Amino acid sequence: MEITAFLERKLARRFRTYDTDGDGFIEREDFTQAGERTTEAFGLAADDPKAVRFHAQLAGLWELLSSVADTDGDGRISVEEYKTAFANGLLETPTSFDEHYVPFLDAVMAIADSDGDGGLTLEEHVRWTGALMNLSERDARGIHDLLSDEDGLLATKALLEAIREFYFSEDPAEAGNWLLGSLD
């Protein structure tokens, strides 16, 4: 996969959302802390089936990412290792992306969609993106406004399409490219 200047900016932004403690590396603990913040934000006990499923999916995402990106085997991923993993085909196609990301998104939605209606309210979206990715309320509101339907709900399908756009689209006009707010 070619890492264009635009994709490089998006990957750098995504890296910062993973790097929970801001130390310049992604580590298992960053994933663990993000998972705990998310389940706590929705009032789930550690043994709640939704929380257990979510934590398992998050651990699997870490295992996949670290197995491909941690090239020096030090248990952490630098921004350069992260970008190189993409250049080497971590997400070769939208189909391979779906294989790994859809189960994770389903686990997130099981938690964030509090009433189970298939769509996220603005409050639900702000809460999960803030807890999991430290996304600002302003950025979360902006993307929710772009992607939500006429009833003000953000459907799983629309969110998944936006996430695909984030990784695979080079068109700055596509809403998904701003999924995490400003790329600066």
Give the start-to-end residue ranges of the domains of the chain.
5-171
Task: Give the model's pLDDT for residue 182.
Answer: 84
Task: Give the model's pLDDT for residue 45.
Answer: 97
Q: Which of 113, 133, 131 is nearest to 122 (CA)?
A: 113
Task: Give the model's pLDDT for residue 91.
Answer: 59
Task: Give the model's pLDDT for residue 87.
Answer: 75
Task: Give the model's pLDDT for residue 92.
Answer: 61
Q: Give the DSSP letter of residue 93.
A: S
Residues of the chain with pLDDT under 50: none
The predicted-structure confidence for 52-62, as pLDDT tens digits, reads as follows: 999 999 999 89
CA 103 to chain centre: 12
Q: What is the pTM of this model?
A: 0.90
Q: Which of 89, 38, 47 is nearest to 68 (CA)?
A: 89
Task: Give the model's pLDDT for residue 94.
Answer: 63
One CATH from 2.60.120.1360, 1.10.287.130, 1.10.238.10, 3.40.50.150 for 5-171: 1.10.238.10
